[in-house]
Amino acid sequence: MNSVNSFDSGSKSDIMYLVVTIDQRNYTHICFHLIYAVKYRMMIFEWRDTMTHYMNLASLPFEQIKSGTKTIELRLYDEKRQAVSEGDTIIFTNLADNRQITVRVIKLHIFDTFIELYRSLPLNKCGYAEQDLDSASPDDMLTYYSKEKQERYKVVGIEIEVI
């Protein structure tokens, strides 16, 4: 499928912007951005292939993502997660049995702390059951990330959809 997402042109001070997306079986997403600024008589080409990232999960969050009840994965915003962009794919591997599931990144929600993240994001989409929402705490993330690591990095809620 080839598509032109947007095209606009106007006066000399306007920017002409063209985005072409090539999609082959929802696995390869190649975006080509052509920006021509008439005002400055310059052309800028930006090319970015979407990337595939690999992450591990315990069985419960793996099954929650597979079923669609968990649509936001919580992680440190370390170097590995800083490489993730909207539109990328993530292949999650279940640590118990090595099954895999592929998801597309819809949005990155970046916060300074898990406290801010827990106040801002819907926790029922982060893997908490309705009956556990009242007891949900940012300290729950200490199971996965030490206080030192949490202080060193920001945190991210990776909003995803199964593909």
Q: Which residue would you say has higher pLDDT here, 155 or 22?
A: 155
Instruction: Report strand pairing: 52-57 vs 89-94.
Output: parallel
pLDDT digits (tens, 9 = 90+) for 18-30: 444 444 444 334 4
Task: Please provide the average confidence, as pLDDT, over all residues in the chain.
Answer: 82
What is this structure's pTM?
0.72
Task: Report which DSSP code applies to 85.
Answer: -
Give me the CATH topology for the region 52-162: 2.30.130
The mean pLDDT of 81-88, rounded to a whole number, is 97
First-to-final CA distance of the chain = 17
Q: Which residues of 98-135 are buried (b: 16+ CB within 10 A; e: fewer)?
A: eeebebbbeebbebeebeebbeebebbbbbbeeeeeee
Q: Would you list the domain boundaries of the chain?
A: 2-49, 52-162
The mean pLDDT of 92-101, rounded to a whole number, is 98
Measured CA to CA, the distance from residue 48 to residue 5 in angstroms comes to: 16
Phi, then psi, of 149 in degrees rounded to 5: -65, -40
Q: Looking at residue 13, what is its pLDDT?
A: 44
